[in-house]
Chains A and B, each alone.
Chain A
Amino acid sequence: MTTQERKRTLRSSYMGREIFKNYWAEAHACKEQGRPVAWCSGNVPVELVHANGVYPLYPESYSAMIAAQKMAREKCERAEGWGYSMDTCSYFRVSLGMEDDDPKTLPFGGLPRPDILITTRLICMTQYKWWQVLSDMWDVPIYVVDAPYLGLGGQAQIQRHQEDYFIDQLKGLVAFLEEHTGKRMDQDRFLEALALSDRAAELWYEIMGLRKSRPCPVATREMVGNVFPLVTLLGTRPTVDFFQALRDEIKEMVESGQGAVPDERIRLALDNIPPWHDLAFLSSVEERGAIFAIENYTCYAWGGRIDLSDPWRGYARKCLDTWPAYSIEERIQIYIRQAQEYHLDGYVFHANRSCKPLSTAQQEMQRVLLERVGVPGLLLEGDHADPRGFSPAHAQSQLEAFLEMLGA
Chain B
Amino acid sequence: MGVFWDYVPEELIHAAGFLPYRIMGSTENISEADRYMPTYVCALMRSALDQAVKGRYAFLDGLIVAPMWCEAMKPLYELWRKHAPVPWMEALDLPGTTEPSGRSYFFREMDRLKGSLEAWTGREITPEALADSIKVYNEGRVLLKRLFHLRQGRLSCFSSVDWAQVVLSSMVMPKEEHNRRLAELAKALEELPEDEQENGPLRLHLTGTIVVDLSLLRIIDEVGGAVTSDDLYTGVRWYWDLVEEGLPPFEGIVQRCWAKLPCSARSMPNVRLGQILDMMKLGRSQGIIFLTEKHCDPHTFEDPLLKSWVEKKGIPSLQLDTELALRGAGQVRTRIQTFVEMARMGEEK
Contact = CB atoms under 8 A, between A and B. Distances in A.
Interface in A56-96: 82-85, 87-89, 92
Interface string A157-194: 00001100100110010000000000000000000000
Contacts of A351: 38
B85 interface: no
Interface in B88-147: 91, 93, 95-97, 99, 101-102, 105, 108
B69 A359 contact: no
Contacts of B74: 149, 151-152, 327
A356 B37 CA distance: 10
A129 B78 contact: no
A172 B319 CA distance: 37
Contacts of B101: 146, 168-169, 172
Given A125-B71, A129-B298, A362 B93 contact: no
Q: Is the interface of A mostly helix, strand, loop or mixed?
A: helix
Given A151-B74, A165-B105, A363-B36, A146 B268 contact: no
Given A125-B96, A149-B93, A87 B105 contact: no
B69 A121 contact: yes
B307 interface: yes
B79 A148 contact: no
B105 A353 contact: no
Contacts of B93: 148-149, 152, 162
Which of A83, A92, A353 has the most chain B CB within a 10 Å cutoff? A83
Given A87-B294, A357-B71, A126 B99 contact: no
A329 interface: yes
Interface string B303-345: 1110110000000000101000000000000000000000000
Interface in B56-76: 68-72, 74-75
B302 interface: yes
Contacts of B264: 129
A308 interface: no
B102 to A, nearest CB: 6
A144 interface: yes
Contacts of A87: 40, 294-295, 300
Interface stretch (A5-13, A44-52, A130-138, A254-262): A130-138
Contacts of B292: 85
B301 A152 contact: no
A329 B38 contact: no
A87 B308 CA distance: 19
Contacts of A169: 101
A329 B36 contact: no
B161 interface: no
Contacts of A144: 97, 99
Contact of B71 (A154, A161, A329, A356): A356
A47 to B, nearest CB: 21
Contacts of A356: 40-41, 71-72, 295, 297
Contacts of B41: 356, 360
B35 interface: yes
Nearest to B268: A132
State which size class the interface on B falls in.
Answer: 35 or more
A34 interface: no
B304 A328 contact: no
State which size class the interface on A falls in.
Answer: 35 or more
A133 B70 CA distance: 18
B265 A161 contact: no
Given A87-B300, A146-B101, A362-B38, A125 B69 contact: yes
Nearest to A324: B71
A328 B36 CA distance: 12
Interface in A81-120: 82-85, 87-89, 92
Contacts of B79: 328, 361, 364
Given A165-B105, A359-B38, A363-B37, A129 B302 contact: yes
A20 interface: no
Contacts of B102: 146, 165
A7 B258 CA distance: 55
A360 B71 contact: yes
Which of A121, A129, A324, A361 has the most chain B CB within a 10 Å cutoff? A129
B224 interface: no
Which of B70, B294, B304 has the most chain A CB within a 10 Å cutoff? B304
A328 B95 CA distance: 21
B252 interface: no
B269 interface: yes
Nearest to A146: B97
A216 interface: no
Contacts of B295: 87, 356
Which of B71, B99, B292, B321 has the most chain A CB within a 10 Å cutoff? B71
B75 A328 contact: yes
A124 B301 CA distance: 13
A75 to B, nearest CB: 16
A85 B294 contact: yes
Given A83-B304, A125-B297, 5 more contacts: A83-B319, A125-B69, A129-B302, A151-B74, A361-B79
Interface of B: 35-38, 40-41, 68-72, 74-75, 77-79, 82, 91, 93, 95-97, 99, 101-102, 105, 108, 264-265, 268-269, 292, 294-295, 297-298, 300-305, 307-308, 319, 321
15 contacts: A85-B300, A87-B40, A125-B71, A125-B297, A129-B265, A130-B301, A149-B68, A149-B74, A151-B74, A165-B102, A324-B71, A357-B71, A359-B38, A360-B37, A360-B71
